[in-house]
Amino acid sequence: MKPARVVGMVLGLGIMALAVGAFFSGEPASVTTQGRVVTIIVGLMGFLMFVNNLSGSASKGGAKAQPEAASAPPFDARPCPSCGKGVSSDHRFCPYCGTAVRGACPSCGKDVKSEFNVCPYCGTQLK
């Protein structure tokens, strides 16, 4: 049970007790019709507060709070050589300007990064 709900229940009970006490206290303020109506309303508010917190804890207590939406995994971005925007390392073309950020080695055909000077697979000069 959440502490806030317990506090709400205790507060509701306290307000109820105060209202009931005022109702039967015989104080001049409470013996008038107006005073009685006010104490009854205040008592009802306290009762509702108590019930609301009690039922709320019963129905929602078991439900797990929605976990914070998992933030997307860090985008493995490197700047596009043409436009400078972030491009994922597994992208072959910049999604913003279409520049090939990774191409195939003209000799062996394997994927090589645009910043490579030499193909790491066959040693062909790429630039």
- Residues lying near Zn ion in the complex (CB under 5 A) are found at 80, 82-83, 94, 96-97, 99, 105, 107-108, 119, 121-122, 124
Which of 35/81 has CB closer to Zn ion? 81
Which of 22/112 has CB closer to Zn ion? 112
Q: Residue 86 CB, nearest distance to Zn ion (Å)?
A: 9
Q: Residue 99 CB, nearest distance to Zn ion (Å)?
A: 5
Which of 55/124 has CB closer to Zn ion? 124
Q: Which residues contact 50 (CB under 8 A, 6 or more apart)?
A: 8, 9, 12, 13, 16
Sign of CA dihedral 56, 61, 66, 67: positive
Output phi, psi for 87, to 5 deg: -125, 135
| Dmax (CA) of the chain | 102
Q: Residue 71 CB, nearest distance to Zn ion (Å)?
A: 24
